[in-house]
Amino acid sequence: MSSTDVILAGADAYNNEFDAEQYLKDCYQLDQDVVGKDSKNWMVKWLTQIHKVFAKGNLKGKKLLELGAGPCIYATISASKHYDEIVTSDYVKGNREQLTKWRNNDHDCFDWSPHIQIVCDLEGNGETAEERAKTLRERIVDVAFCDALKDPMLPSRNGEKYDAIVAFGVIEEVAPDRNSWLQILACIVKYLNPGGVLLLGNSLGSTFYRRGASNNRAFACYKTDRDEVISTLESLGTTILYESMLDLPGDGYFNDRTDKMFVVAQK
């Protein structure tokens, strides 16, 4: 962080300041050379971790929600083979527009094919990125508005419950304080079906993250750690099925996290 950086927080800041297109270009652009080669790339690590969890074969069901997807679809690539219907959601209009563009296969949508190819290669069944993209598009039944700080989080979905909820890089990033952070987790668990699973990607130790390169705007984060995450999930009546630290500390510019944690908890 620099003394000239502006720290942003709250819903208005996201709607006014979050540039979905720039965020995708700065943070998610993958060269084809990375696919299958660079295991140290953070996106490759993250996709590999998600794949490992779904490859066990015990996570499956009818409906999956991704809460706060941003403009991204990578979190549901592996899940698309295990859940029949996927609802993806975000608070920011520009993010939902990017998700809708990809779902509709618009000519100017972001190219997720390198990310999808990584997952296909990990699965090793010969499926192409184009084939998997078609499956995922067919299974995305809605791109919904969500507000993680309110209940219901997805007002248009009439309080429906899910067999799985995915929340990667969203809870710490939108919670202004510990009470809000606890409220979000409790609300997520509330909307899981009995036996349903929560897949969390937590940014540990982070106080900020930057939306992209070459700007002095940074979004505030709630600073948490592994013990707080696990104890809170257990206090909400879930059982930890899996947890892993990904050895992905921040670089001090885009974020200052100490590590990225992946957790699967069952209600």
Phi, psi at residue 220, to the nearest 5°? -75, 150
Which tens digit of pLDDT belongs to each residue from 37-53? 444 578 888 999 999 99
Q: What percent of the chain has pLDDT over 70?
A: 90
Pairing outcome for strands 192-204 and 259-266: antiparallel
Omega prior to 152 cis, within 30 of 0: yes
pTM of the model: 0.93
Which tens digit of pLDDT belongs to each residue from 138-197? 999 999 999 999 999 999 999 999 999 999 989 998 898 999 999 999 999 999 999 999
In sequence order, what DSSP letters do the residues of 155-170 get, joined into one string? GGGTT--EEEEEEES-
Which tens digit of pLDDT belongs to each residue from 63-78? 999 999 999 999 999 9
User: Which pLDDT belongs to residue 6?
Assistant: 60
